[in-house]
Structure 1
Amino acid sequence: MDALTVDARAILTGTASKASVFDLEQAVQDDIAAEQLTAVLAGELDVDELLTDTYVRGLHRRMYGDIWTWAGVYRKRELNIGVAPEQIATQLHAALANLLYRWHHTDDWDPRILGIAVHAETVRIHPFVDGNGRSTRLLADLVFAAAQGTETVEVYDWVLEKRHYIELLRAYDRHRDPIDLADFIRTIPVTD
């Protein structure tokens, strides 16, 4: 709770519980998701723009900047997951560049697999102190939507069986193949 911004503390006066912070985060996330998905659907954001470390940091900052002081800042502490802090910037940049290169120069992945690969790679790197899951799931949705180029756009259905999802993310860490994870996560159409 020490990392709450001054504005968040003012909003949460007297009610700064985990539940109230979660609700605030969710409200902000919903607004950012709608704003960014609208930009993708309007053609203002494409796959090339989304798959940059600058965009990933900016998305995290937009999602958490009004609430947490660490928003959009790469973590500086070693964790039991993710790469070493000193490797975050280079690994994230390289991973996103590799995914983008593969998208443009091979034809074995469809948009659904690309979005899941982006999610799995950014989760694997675990660039931020917190909010990695939410921000990378939103990033996956945005990349998936931007890559589709169809009239009916879908996003991922993130309501899923968590234990199997975590097992598939761990398997991805070992073999870097997103197919099983993409097969597991269903999709749903975007509605107004």
Structure 2
Amino acid sequence: MPLTPGYGETPLPHDELDALLAEVVEILDKPITRADVYALEQSLQDQVVEALMPAALDGSLPLDELLSDYFIRDLHTQLFGPIWQWGGRQRQLELNIGVAPELIAVELRSTLGSIAWRWEHTDDWTPRQLGIVVHAETVRIHPFVDGNGRTTRLLADLAFAAAQDPTVQQYDWDLDKQRYIGLLRAFDVHRDVTELAAFVGIEQIELQEP
């Protein structure tokens, strides 16, 4: 999802600056801005996608592995661990979003397990809908201090790729943020993914020959 105008114009707040790893602070120009950190995060995400997406495409990273609590924790670690002290760590504080901290581990495990069972034993969802369900349910739990959106969208991308046979489509996350958040909130109430999945665009991808 694109940055809003003016995102990188101000220095990083002190609380966020303190959460950066010392080696990251060392290499970035001063003052460190949000845009500086975002660029670093995006570069790291590109590397993670490059490492994981081929495995989702060729079946060596199957859905039963993707839909596990340990995988999403490892994914968050890969995306944010080299930059932030909270990378890969479960949220410990109560927020006005997400489940209570003491419920995160159980809720994540049971929710992903239920999604995997339903995909395996019913015809309720298309591959497109499956990935969005994975994203919406995990972002609802809000398991991490930060980076929940990026982590769960990438998890959705991997699940969508793994669920298609053959993989010919991918999500387009360049969308109206306000409408997107509204549909996520509506999903939290009724758990019907139809409208949200239809809203998140898809595009054709070119598969490389093995």
Query: In 1, distance between residues paired with 2:92 and 2:170?
Result: 32
CA drift at 1:153: 2.4
Instruction: List 4+ stretches of structure 1 deviating above 4 A.
Output: none
Query: Which of 159, 168, 179 is 1:164 aligned to?
Result: 179
**SS in structure 1 opposite 2:197?**
helix
Structure 2 counterpart of 1:103: 119
Query: In 1, distance between residues paired with 2:47 and 2:169?
Result: 18
Q: How many residues align?
A: 191
Structure 1 counterpart of 2:100: 84
Kindly provide the amino acid, as one letter, of the partner of residue 84 in structure 1: A
CA drift at 1:15: 4.2
Query: In 1, distance between residues paired with 2:95 and 2:58?
Result: 38
**SS in structure 1 opposite 2:146?**
coil
Structure 2 counterpart of 1:112: 128
Kindly provide the amino acid, as one letter, of the partner of residue 156 in structure 2: A
CA drift at 1:136: 0.5
CA drift at 1:12: 1.3
- Given the alignment of the two structures, is residue 17 of structure 1 paired with residue 33 of structure 2, yes or no? yes
**SS in structure 2 opposite 1:2?**
helix
Kindly provide the amino acid, as one letter, of the partner of residue 184 in structure 1: F
Structure 2 counterpart of 1:189: 204
Query: Which of 149, 153, 158 is 2:165 aligned to?
Result: 149
With normalisation by structure 1, the TM-score equals: 0.96
1:51 to 1:88, Cα distance in 2 relative to 1, 3 A: same
CA drift at 1:33: 1.3
Kindly provide the amino acid, as one letter, of the partner of residue 167 in structure 1: G
CA contact (8 A) 1:7 1:66 kept: no
CA drift at 1:56: 0.2
Structure 2 counterpart of 1:175: 190
User: Structure 1 regions of 5+ residues with no counterpart?
Assistant: none
**SS in structure 1 opposite 2:170?**
strand
Query: In 1, distance between residues paired with 2:134 and 2:80?
Result: 20
Query: In 1, distance between residues paired with 2:159 and 2:182?
Result: 23
User: Structure 2 regions of 5+ residues with no counterpart?
Assistant: 1-16
Query: In 2, distance between residues paired with 1:17 and 1:91?
Result: 35
Mapping of residues 6-155 of structure 1, within 5 Å = 6-150=22-166, 152-155=167-170
**Larger-Rg structure:** 2
Greater mean alpha carbon deviation, residues 47-56 or residues 153-162: 153-162
Query: In 2, distance between residues paired with 1:70 and 1:107?
Result: 38
With normalisation by structure 2, the TM-score equals: 0.88
**SS in structure 1 opposite 2:92?**
coil
Identity, % of aligned positions: 54
